[in-house]
Amino acid sequence: MYKVLARDGLAKRGRLQTVHGVIETPVFMNVGTAAAIKGAVSTEDLQGIKTQVELSNTYHLHVRPGDDVVKRLGGLHKFMVWDKPILTDSGGFQVFSLAGLRRIKEEGVYFNSHIDGRKIFMGPEESMQIQSNLASTIAMAFDECPSSVADRPYMEKSVERTTRWLGRCKEEMRRLNGLPDTINPRQLLFGINQGGIYEDIRIRHAKEIAAMDLDGYAIGGLAVGESHEDMYRILDAVVPYLPADKPTYLMGVGTPANILEAVDRGVDFFDCVYPSRNGRHGHVYTNHGKLNLFNARYELDSRPIEEGCGCPACRTYSRAYIRHLLKAKEMLGMRLCVLHNLYFYNTMMEEIREAVEKGCYREYKADKLAHMTGREV
């Protein structure tokens, strides 16, 4: 199902076969929180900007429109009209970052909806049931994502519970995939490694979950406030203990530089809101650095965001026009910037795959980083 096609150092060039088609890795999954990419981008648009995997958020869809509604409409793929792979997160991260007052118990988490305050309970079984209703291609295990500054005793206790929860997730997923009315009975399950920035806890946890034979392994609880150096140190420590013959997913990461560094450490799945969030604020990526299109220097700039870029914004519109749209608060400005940024990320992943195949990943990475840290142009 998952095959490593080539390696270059620790960097993996993989291929994951799913019921919704093939995922060529390394891959950047495009985040559509509430079953839509923010910035007025549709799944039809995604077909034109090299998106391989759409990622939606279980927590958001559970509170609105409700996973029962999505199930009655045939699952997320039918709902969004997207026939390629979809990954859903477990809801855990949002429960810990968005929800109001919450109590964590062995059975799961009690919390209040951030929309209407109503009480919700979510545990491993509930998360699996919701994700089964959504019928995504890949479901994520329900874990606790502790604060990056949690102390060692708390972290140890939390990670042990996350391991127990993972066992329950696996069992519940097996049960759900066997039910007659399950939309996607071949739904995959990825486990999540936790442990904050404690290398030994991370490694011990990695060994435990590696033994559980899941469809893929994610590293959670990074990119939540720790330094880049800490993140890379943890990747250096823990990735060797995750099965290399399974997908390796670094959750919520990150900048182009973060991705380039993580690929070099063996990661091949990524997701992040940066390209869409930055795009909505007029910050756009180029191979010569990030531009802030609100800057007055672009007022009369008739060039595209990036010369030679094939995205829907660059193919047609100028920096000057997009800057005007952003200044005038026209949604179209945000849409064009988001389309450009996602295209930039998706294209970079294409380049990464090619470089790993060719065995020149280190040179590619050095070159890309050297250019991107350039000044605004």
Closest to a copy of itself by CB, 185 or 312: 312
Closest to a copy of itself by CB, 290 or 327: 327
Element (H, E) at 347: helix 331-358
CB of 32 to a copy of itself, least distance (A): 9
Active site residue: 45, 89, 215, 264, which one? 89
- 4 close to 20: Cβ distance less than 8 angstroms: no
Pairing mode, strands 102-104 and 86-88: unpaired
Closest to a copy of itself by CB, 116 or 245: 116
Q: Please enumerate in sequence order all residues whose Cβ is within 8 A of that of 108, keeping only pairs 6 or more positions apart, or say none.
A: 121, 122, 123, 124, 125, 126, 142
Is position 83 annotated as part of the catalytic site? Answer: no
Residue reference for tokens 């909505």: 280
Separation of alpha carbons 139 and 8, rounded Å: 29
Separation of alpha carbons 205 and 199, rounded Å: 10
Closest to a copy of itself by CB, 255 or 318: 318
CB of 92 to a copy of itself, least distance (A): 21
Residue reference for tokens 């708390």: 154
Is position 67 annotated as part of the catalytic site? Answer: no
Active site residue: 45, 264, 271, 301, which one? 271
CB of 307 to a copy of itself, least distance (A): 16
CB of 65 to a copy of itself, least distance (A): 5
**Site of interaction with a copy of itself (CB under 8 A):** 34-44, 60, 64-65, 69, 72-74, 78-81, 299-300, 302, 312, 316-318, 320-321, 323-325, 327-328, 330-336
Separation of alpha carbons 70 and 79, rounded Å: 7
Give the residue numbers marked as catalytic. 89, 271
